[in-house]
Structure 1
Amino acid sequence: MTGPSDADGRLLLGRAAFFDRLRSWAVERPTADAVIAADGTALPYGELVAAVAATGAHLRDNGARPGEPVAIPTGNSVASIVTILAAAALGAVPLLFDAGATEQERSQLMRLAEAQTCVPPVVAREPAAWPELPAQPGSEELALVTSGTNGLPKVVGKHWAAVVDNSVRFAEVAGYSDADRILCTTPLHHAFAFGVVLVPALYTGATIVLAPHPPLPSALMSLLAETRATVVQSVPFLYGAALETMPSHGLPDLRLCVSAGEPLRPAVRSTWLEATGARLRDQYGATELGQIGFAVPDAPDDACRLVPGVQARTRVDGEWSATEGELFVRVPGPPSRYLGQDELTERSYVDGWFRTGDWGTVDGSGRIVVTGRVNRRVVVGGRKVDPAEVENAVRSMPGVRDCVAVVGEDAGYVAFVVAEPDVTELGLRRHLAALLSPYKIPRRLHLVRALPRTTTGKIRMAPLWQDLTDGSAT
């Protein structure tokens, strides 16, 4: 097997290695389930490989070509997995985006990726020979969509060598095996699901269990119990909400819970461990890089350590630093790029290191701590404030369930707080006064019933600002 090497000359796993492993599972364990859909239907490894070959022929007949982007409206379905794999095996560049995207959004993404072909997910059944894996320029890429911190869509072109190598290293750290049943609760077109579930699960011979999207908290617990999942991949919001529907008999098969998207609240972490016996472990990653850090099991501070092969350092005021600063990361393999946005790609790298936009620390042992976003740091009274510090202080008050601190053009510095009825603004201010300098305490503490979120757990700010303007509870 040949392919790119990392800085130490170690051979990287790539697309060919991934498909070789997938086909080996079809020979060794043809009847073992590769994917189980939300409705309970299953596709064993033997049938999965046959379906990928047949679907590859179908895609070729419908305009997909090696080295060229093919847009795939992706849902959490068996057909989506088969179509993604078929496009990659054919040598096309899979462009994955939300099946619920509008026509305007779809057109914009296809324009950025220069994609001329769009194919709906399908599972073809006509017998077909396994395609030869082409190696011409472009055939080693795939494209994932990220909203970015400013909400504008970006199409990230990634090299299969970087994706597979990073995913397999993560699987090793997480202890994945062919005995695992991994429940995927986030959209397959997102890097979190792609790199933590799809690629590493199929490489290790595990079973992917697809949750419907968006999943309800009660559905999460039901699926965990019914499928006897050993691993679950989700977001902090869903873990916290699902605790209210925990089955009385517990979840004896569950061994690992991966969480990403935002920091885990200590109360959710401890309550989940008490209720399930499985530790919630933070995963820190980025669409452009894959898995960066993963919480060490049983560490007293639940610290994240860099995934093997990943390097990180900090930068302050344009200079590399050994202290807290903006986090820069690099992973083995060819660097990712923003399709159709060359200038953005150039701005995102400094001396070969990718600018994450996160603020934090890295130590000599590989411990990485993210303390906030660079572009969320605000100036209040001439002094810098990190909203993440403020949010953690608010959440530490008994009765508070959630919080987001932001600065609006008209409303100023505000914290939206979800809390029990007995929590008052005065009580919150007294609590914060003991923890924060006066200038860090938000001008307004607005109590709301819930923080509206997207299907991936990100907070939707527009309804909150509207609620503040109206002066009524959400």
Structure 2
Amino acid sequence: MAVPATASVCDADRYGPPSVTGLVDLLDRHVRERPHARALVVTEDRVHLSYRALAALADDVAARLGATGLRRGDAIGLICANNAEFVVALLGAARAGLVLAPLDPTLPAAQLSDRLDALGAQALLLGPSVNDATAAQVAVPTWPLRVIASRAGTATVALDTSAPAVREVRGAAGELSGQDALVLFTAGTTARAKMVPLTHANVAASVRGICATYELGPGDATVAVMPFFHGHGLFAALLATLASGGCVLLPERGRFSAHTFWDDMRAAGATWFTAVPTIHEILLDRAGTEYPGPQTPPLKFVRSCSAPLNTATQRALERTFGAPLLSAYGMTESTHQATSEPLPTRGPLKQGSVGLPTGVDLRVVDSLGRTCPVGTEGEVWVQGPTVTRGYLGNPGETARSFTDGWLRTGDLGVLDKDGYLSLTGRIKNLINRGGEKISPEHVEDIIAGCPGVVEAAVFAVPDAVYGQRVGAAVVVREGESIGSEQILRYARDRLAAFEVPDKLELVAALPHTAKGALDRLAVEAKYGQ
């Protein structure tokens, strides 16, 4: 039984974006109707860039890219932090008909080169934060891009395209067309990163769904917490805000800083923000000394996505920030958001749930692809206008992950009678302890609820008798005296005997991916031996 989407079209008159067709016309309505409204707040001086100014910068970049001889549907890369250059490159490339592939600036040069080569990028745009040594090692023509903004709100672009672009189409780029807007790389925490092509239609459907879910409009503003080279920051924070006529503040150094976060929120007049649980934990831990309370603009909601958020943290955040915390669920292959808890005015919030479908159909199926009864665990499948067509250059993985238009997410979940989804784990992560299948995510959620615990990672430990046993690495809040045995006692009271970790180690910190999710490959390599 497919669960009907609860929100697929925005109310454009009140809070929704225009009927955009993709990145190309994302700003058009606001340039016509509200040209002087804030689109971005940038640089250490917190310069306001209007929709008219941003569109003019994008048009300038589009013209310069068009003069290079690149053709519609050609692929170029982008290495840039969350700054004005990223936004201008993104919109300018789209207006030039090019397909943009944003890359993580912190990746080693060898990995950057591998990804650019696999894609077949014909040039690489470089933002100001890119290390010169890294850029020099990338075997693709590089085009430095700078935006010079004045305190008066005017801005100009400097783009050096003197290095000739690669002319032949190579790698997976041969599978792209003028209908495509972006290529995003999956996080790659449990396998090698895959290339996901997203069309302009995918982008448009995604931003409409996000805006409708949260009723975003011109009166809203946010701070860019998550990196734009992943879907969470790109679609939820940046594109949905611009599509709906709001404002995005880009932190001074192009990345999240807990030290400046609340000042940034005040400077933007922010009404909401979105982040991963790791960042929410950081803000909560520092709230006693840094959260300004009444001096902060009132928040409509706070959003959490990209990793499970334990219930204790969620409730503590709501009490501290005085706003509902809405959990969402998405993936690169569904152009980010697939489900979200609704605003309180639209429906109830359910403990442990990631909410209702937003512009997609969703079902939970068994190992034979049959729909599971309500309340029965199975694999989550998603279908709709945000779902990509497959992976570039990887027909085998495409065949495994896509069935008759349905994306087989690899995530385990349960639907309740009202269509709310609760995630219970990931198929690849399951620990098999003598035939008992254990979800590490479930065990992590329980341990994280123990007073004094900041975060937990649960993993398989090889065992000659059971095949695998349960291991855990736990981070304890600074200043807490809680020990391993107290945590295990807490776990025994709340878990089945076979789920309780056989090995538990207290650690100073856990490894995370660039988007803030737990890096399970790194955890397994470090602790699972």
> TM (normalized to structure 1)?
0.88
- Residue 338 to residue 461, structure 1, CA distance change in 2 (3 Å): closer
Question: Among 434, 459, 471, which residue is 2:518 paired with?
Answer: 459
Q: How does 1:81-230 map to 2 (within 5 A)?
A: 81-121=87-127, 122=145, 125=156, 138-141=177-180, 142-211=182-251, 212-230=253-271
Q: Is the 8 A contact 1:14 1:162 kept in 2?
A: no
| Distance in 1 between residues matched to 2:73 and 2:460, nearest whole Å | 44
Range moving further from structure 2, 84-93 or 20-29: 20-29
Question: Among 377, 381, 403, which residue is 1:324 paired with?
Answer: 377
Q: Secondary structure at the match of 1:288?
A: helix
1:83 CA drift (Å)? 0.7
- Residue 45 to residue 403, structure 1, CA distance change in 2 (3 Å): same
* Deviation readout 1:11-61 (Å, 9 max, x if unpaired): x99864654451221122222111112521232111111111110011123
Question: Would you say 1:419 and 2:464 are equivalent positions?
Answer: no
- Residue 398 to residue 460, structure 1, CA distance change in 2 (3 Å): same
- Residue 13 to residue 214, structure 1, CA distance change in 2 (3 Å): closer
Which residue number corresponds to residue 130 of structure 1?
none
1:161 CA drift (Å)? 0.5
Which residue number corresponds to residue 34 of structure 1?
39
Q: Is the 8 A contact 2:222 2:268 kept in 1?
A: no
Which residue number corresponds to residue 365 of structure 2?
315
Q: Is the 8 A contact 2:378 2:413 kept in 1?
A: yes
Question: Would you say 1:237 and 2:294 are equivalent positions?
Answer: no
Q: Which amino acid aligns with 1:79?
A: E
- Residue 357 to residue 464, structure 1, CA distance change in 2 (3 Å): closer
Q: Secondary structure at the match of 1:447?
A: strand
- Residue 192 to residue 342, structure 1, CA distance change in 2 (3 Å): same
The structure, 1 or 2, with the larger RCO (C-alpha pairs under 8 Å, 6+ apart) is 2
Question: Would you say 1:56 and 2:109 are equivalent positions?
Answer: no
1:185 CA drift (Å)? 0.6
Range moving further from structure 2, 182-191 or 411-420: 411-420
- Residue 292 to residue 269, structure 1, CA distance change in 2 (3 Å): same
> TM (normalized to structure 2)?
0.79
| Distance in 2 between residues matched to 1:308 and 1:467, nearest whole Å | 38
Which residue number corresponds to residue 448 of structure 1?
507
Which residue number corresponds to residue 403 of structure 1?
456
Q: How does 1:1-40 map to 2 (within 5 A)?
A: 16=21, 19-20=24-25, 22-39=27-44, 40=46
Q: Is the 8 A contact 2:424 2:441 kept in 1?
A: yes
Which residue number corresponds to residue 133 of structure 1?
none
Q: Is the 8 A contact 1:201 1:207 kept in 2?
A: yes
- Residue 17 to residue 151, structure 1, CA distance change in 2 (3 Å): closer
Range moving further from structure 2, 255-264 or 369-378: 255-264
Which residue number corresponds to residue 338 of structure 2?
292
Q: Is the 8 A contact 1:371 1:389 kept in 2?
A: yes
Question: Would you say 1:379 and 2:432 are equivalent positions?
Answer: yes
| Distance in 2 between residues matched to 1:409 and 1:334, nearest whole Å | 37
- Residue 371 to residue 137, structure 1, CA distance change in 2 (3 Å): closer
- Residue 462 to residue 296, structure 1, CA distance change in 2 (3 Å): closer
Where does the alignment leave 5 or more consecutive residues of structure 1 unmatched? 1-5, 128-135
Q: Secondary structure at the match of 1:338?
A: coil
| Distance in 1 between residues matched to 2:495 and 2:368, nearest whole Å | 29
1:148 CA drift (Å)? 3.2
| Distance in 2 between residues matched to 1:264 and 1:439, nearest whole Å | 23
Where does the alignment leave 5 or more consecutive residues of structure 2 unmatched? 10-16, 128-144, 148-155, 159-174
Q: Is the 8 A contact 1:214 1:455 kept in 2?
A: no
| Distance in 2 between residues matched to 1:89 and 1:15, nearest whole Å | 13
| Distance in 1 between residues matched to 2:123 and 2:329, nearest whole Å | 33
- Residue 318 to residue 269, structure 1, CA distance change in 2 (3 Å): same
Which residue number corresponds to residue 496 of structure 2?
437
Q: Secondary structure at the match of 1:456?
A: coil
Which residue number corresponds to residue 172 of structure 2?
none
Q: Is the 8 A contact 2:270 2:297 kept in 1?
A: no
Which residue number corresponds to residue 165 of structure 2?
none
Q: Is the 8 A contact 2:214 2:342 kept in 1?
A: no
- Residue 80 to residue 239, structure 1, CA distance change in 2 (3 Å): same
1:327 CA drift (Å)? 0.7
Identity percentage of aligned residues: 26
Q: Secondary structure at the match of 1:442?
A: coil
* Deviation readout 1:204-239 (Å, 9 max, x if unpaired): 111111234542322222322332211212111111
Q: Is the 8 A contact 1:453 1:459 kept in 2?
A: yes
- Residue 445 to residue 157, structure 1, CA distance change in 2 (3 Å): same
Q: Secondary structure at the match of 2:60?
A: helix
- Residue 461 to residue 214, structure 1, CA distance change in 2 (3 Å): farther
Question: Among 45, 50, 63, which residue is 1:44 paired with?
Answer: 50
Question: Would you say 1:301 and 2:301 are equivalent positions?
Answer: no
Question: Among 271, 277, 281, which residue is 2:316 paired with?
Answer: 271
| Distance in 2 between residues matched to 1:319 and 1:456, nearest whole Å | 31
1:446 CA drift (Å)? 0.8
Which residue number corresponds to residue 392 of structure 1?
445
Q: Is the 8 A contact 2:189 2:521 kept in 1?
A: no
Range moving further from structure 2, 284-293 or 345-354: 345-354
| Distance in 2 between residues matched to 1:213 and 1:268, nearest whole Å | 27
- Residue 389 to residue 21, structure 1, CA distance change in 2 (3 Å): closer
Question: Among 336, 345, 349, which residue is 2:402 paired with?
Answer: 349
Q: Which amino acid aligns with 1:196?
A: A
Q: Is the 8 A contact 2:34 2:51 kept in 1?
A: yes
| Distance in 2 between residues matched to 1:186 and 1:372, nearest whole Å | 23
